[in-house]
Amino acid sequence: MITTGMKTMLAILCCLLVCGISHAQTLDKARLDLLFDRLLDKHKGMGSITLTKDGKLLYTHSFGYAQITDAGNKPLTDNTRYRIASITKTYTAVMILQLVEEGKLKLTSPLGQFFPQIPNADKITIAQILQHRSGIPDMTVDPGWRAQAHTHEEIVAAIAKGKPLFEPDSQHLYSNTGYVLLGYILEKVEGKPYADILQRRINKKIGLQNTYLGIGNTDTSKQEALSYRYMGAWKEVPEMDLSIPAGAGAIIATPTDMCHFITALFEGKLLSKKSLDLMTTMRDGEGMGMEPFSFAGHTLYGHTGGSNVSGSWLAYEPTEKLALAYTTNAKIYPVKDIVAGVFDIYWNKPYQVPTFDAVAVSDELLNQYVGVYVIAGTPAKMTVTKNGSNLFIDNNGNAIPLEATSDTTFTLAPGVTVTFDTANKQMTIKRPQGERVFTKQP
């Protein structure tokens, strides 16, 4: 006879067994390998990824090349270092909050205490800059300006020329320049360069060996990856001089170091729980150097980064203590879709590795799309050319291939589509920020 106590014990044992099976699920590494190998095979990207759980390595994979030359190609490896772009903001936010915990800085401190020349500086607080609620606009400079090294003074002067976009704390709008200024504030308070502060406050505390502030251009002698775009062959693409993004986007790291960083952050090794709560408390979808993500029914925290054709993604699931870091030096297929695929595979959700097969469009149609497109009353001008069965769009001498997703719609870049309307002789370029309609010249 089974007693009530025995039933209870059996129920507990069943629960433990089910939970044990759930947490011991086998990661389908072969399917992950297939996803990344196919991305490279179909010229959809290059990069590296790391997954860790409880701080322990689950999976790492690198695909593609850090440097491509006539003499040979240098493969990407687990030790290749990448520009992580705006994920730098998370590191900057951590160090700012460390200063707050130590009483060296207040979240209510006005920007005017450090940079009175910035418009509205006396109204803008450190907290508002951290939350992208300052109204500080991004710099308006010529593209060539960003390719050159500049001093702090030159960059602050460029920022100061901008007019406030709104009154502080009245709205939310992502601001790179705000985090550039936070990096400079770190230096003013500590009396040391950002690179040294990063080394002392983060790297030495948690043992990061491949994380540092980048300087100037990519240095291949330091195992840094150059950036590429696929145009029938991989072509190197110049990137911004790292003096420009500074504390907003100049850190270089490996994905394994990135996973260690965010795991240590959530384990309380860098900040108190109170400060971490500030980072993960969202207002208008933004925390302090932190963003929320939703994948496969799970909520994660972290940040994304992207520059010209490089990109990065860092995410942490606190319940499972799962960290993902993805870095790419050839951002072609949308990074968000890649990350979503990884999490679907990890959590055993239905997922089919894409074939990445392009839609074939007839020569007759492609020839109709060729021409020069303009927006009346503006200097905007795009030239569409054809080489074999491929279309290219040229803006200022930079020819970018278009990939057909239908007879009339093509992908230009991640999240950017081009649609042709031959009846009205128009071409529409749609980006996340909006769309622009061009008219074909006779």
Instruction: Give the Å distances, CA to CA, from 259 to 27, 53, 326, 363.
Output: 18, 9, 10, 47
Average pLDDT of span 18-42: 79
Q: Which fold has domain 75-222+239-312?
A: Beta-lactamase (3.40.710)
Average pLDDT of span 88-98: 98
For residue 397, pLDDT over 80 is answered with no
Locate the domains of the chain by residue range.
Answer: 75-222+239-312, 363-440
What is the model's pLDDT at position 35? 97
| Average pLDDT of the residues of the chain | 92
Q: DSSP string spanning 334-395? A: -HHHHHHHHHHHHTT--------PPPP--HHHHHHH-EEEE-TTS--EEEEEEETTEEEEEE
User: Of residues 279 and 334, which shows the higher confidence score?
Assistant: 279
The pLDDT tens digits for 185-226 are 999 999 999 999 999 999 999 999 999 999 999 999 999 999
The pLDDT tens digits for 35-83 are 999 999 999 999 999 999 999 999 999 999 999 999 999 999 999 999 9
| Per-residue pLDDT band at 25 (split at 50, 70, 90) | low
Average pLDDT of span 152-170: 97
Which residues, listed in sequence order, are joined to residue 398 by a DSSP beta bridge? Answer: 395
**Chain center to CA of 27:** 25
What is the model's pLDDT at position 142? 85
What is the model's pLDDT at position 296? 95
Cα dihedral 353/358/359/360 (nearest 10): -140
Q: DSSP string spanning 25-46? A: PPP-HHHHHHHHHHHHHTTSEE
136-145, 333-342, 389-398, 406-415: segment of lowest average pLDDT = 389-398
In this structure, the strands spanning 434-440 and 416-421 are: unpaired
The pLDDT tens digits for 221-238 are 999 999 999 888 899 998
What is the model's pLDDT at position 11? 47
For residue 22, pLDDT over 60 is answered with no
25-29, 268-272, 329-333, 406-410: segment of lowest average pLDDT = 25-29
For residue 277, pLDDT over 50 is answered with yes
DSSP state of 429: E
Q: What angle do CA 309, 310, 316 make, to 5 degrees?
A: 140
Average pLDDT of span 157-165: 96
A 10 A CB-CB count for 179 gives 27
Question: Quick check: 126 and 111 in contact, CB under 8 A?
Answer: yes
Model-level pTM?
A: 0.86
The pLDDT tens digits for 108-129 are 999 999 999 999 999 999 999 9
Q: Which residues contact 212 (CB under 8 A, 6 or more apart)?
A: 195, 198, 199, 203, 251, 252, 253
What is the model's pLDDT at position 75? 98
Cα–Cα dist 380/383, whole Å? 10
| CATH 2.60.40.1760 is right for the domain spanning 363-440 | no
